[in-house]
């Protein structure tokens, strides 16, 4: 199976300010290693040999940093400096880099986790899913909703605002928080609309009634979103 990795690194990093005042969040360091290096090493440790990194904020700094490092695989830059396309839009824009692959493995650059990506991929293949989302039981504001028996995506809910989207008519679904890590068949990814900007969350919800989107529960793993300044400081303390 040919797998291409995709690291979302194009964000403005406003939640990490002042650490991102003069550099992108991808180059913020944790324990002497940049968040980008951490994500790349996670990808390549599970056998991924081609990784796409999308860039927008301080793109030249990211590209220069990659030139100075040696990785066992190939790193491709998806240049969004002209227009920040959001998650699904960024995936669609990068299609020339993954059109010959079977599977896409996504990782948000501001996530620190010891999740076993090979297990996530195996679960995705075993369940014959079109996409599989790494999820956890944790407190947050926005949740994906899954049916209890098969853990198939059936909706989304914002518990603070009360907003709810039902993709499938399922009684008593379970709420699980998205971990910013997911896999998607490339045949399914080609269904992403050809628009300049779109969200992968919206794409999954629009397609959930027609395609199998699974939840991969990884409560036993360590996980931390360090995309916010205070949370990053908490990890360092």
Q: What is the pLDDT of residues 92-124, one digit of tens each?
A: 999 999 999 999 999 999 999 999 999 999 999
pLDDT at 236 over 70: no
pLDDT of residue 232: 66
Query: What's the distance, Cα to Cα, between the start and end of the chain in Å?
Result: 41
Whether residue 174 is preceded by a cis peptide bond, meaning omega within 30 degrees of 0, is: no
Banded model confidence at residue 207, pLDDT cuts 50, 70, 90:
very high
pLDDT of residue 15: 82
Short-list 222, 151, 185, 200, CA closest to 1: 185
pLDDT at 231 over 80: no
Domain ranges of the chain: 3-236
Q: What is the pLDDT of residues 3-18, one digit of tens each?
A: 999 999 999 888 888 8
Which token pair is 18?
């002042």
pLDDT at 24 over 90: yes
pLDDT of residue 28: 93
Q: What value does the mean pLDDT take over residues 154-179?
A: 96
Banded model confidence at residue 66, pLDDT cuts 50, 70, 90:
very high
Average pLDDT over the chain reads: 94
- Residues 78-117 as b or e (16 or more Cβ within 10 Å = b): bebeeebbbbbbbbbbbeebbeebebbbbbbbbbbbebbb
CA distance 135 to 69: 31
Model confidence, pTM: 0.95
User: 164-166 and 174-185: which strand pairing?
Assistant: unpaired
pLDDT of residue 69: 86
CA distance 60 to 146: 40
Residues 39, 27: contact at Cβ < 8 Å?
no
Protein fold of 3-236: Spore Coat Polysaccharide Biosynthesis Protein SpsA; Chain A (3.90.550)
pLDDT at 237 over 60: no
Residue 77's φ and ψ, nearest 5 degrees, are: -100, 125
pLDDT at 230 over 80: no
Q: Which helix (H) or strand (E) holds 121?
A: helix 117-126
The pLDDT > 90 percentage for the chain reads 86
């Amino acid at each position: 199976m040919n797998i291409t990795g995709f690291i979302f690194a194009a964000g403005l990093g406003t939640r990490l300010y002042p650490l991102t005042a003069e550099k992108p969040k991808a180059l913020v360091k944790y324990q002497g290693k940049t968040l980008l290096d951490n994500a790349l090493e996670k990808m390549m440790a599970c056998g991924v040999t081609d990784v796409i990194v999308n860039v927008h904020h301080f793109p030249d700094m990211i590209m220069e940093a990659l030139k100075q490092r040696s990785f066992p695989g190939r790193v491709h830059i998806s240049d969004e400096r002209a227009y920040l396309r959001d998650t699904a839009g960024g995936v669609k824009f990068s299609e020339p880099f993954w059109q010959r692959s079977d599977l896409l493995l996504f990782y948000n650059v501001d996530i620190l986790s010891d999740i076993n990506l090979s297990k996530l991929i195996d679960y995705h293949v075993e369940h014959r899913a079109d996409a599989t989302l790494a999820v956890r039981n944790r407190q947050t504001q926005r949740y994906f909703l899954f049916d209890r028996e098969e853990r198939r995506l059936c909706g989304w809910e914002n518990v603070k605002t009360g907003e709810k989207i039902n993709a499938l008519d399922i009684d008593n679904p379970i709420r699980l928080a998205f971990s910013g890590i997911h896999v998607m068949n490339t045949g399914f990814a080609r269904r992403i609309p050809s628009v300049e900007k779109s969200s992968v969350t919206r794409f999954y919800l629009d397609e959930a009634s027609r395609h199998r989107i699974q939840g991969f529960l990884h409560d036993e793993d360590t996980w931390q979103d360090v995309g916010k300044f205070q949370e990053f400081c908490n990890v360092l303390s």
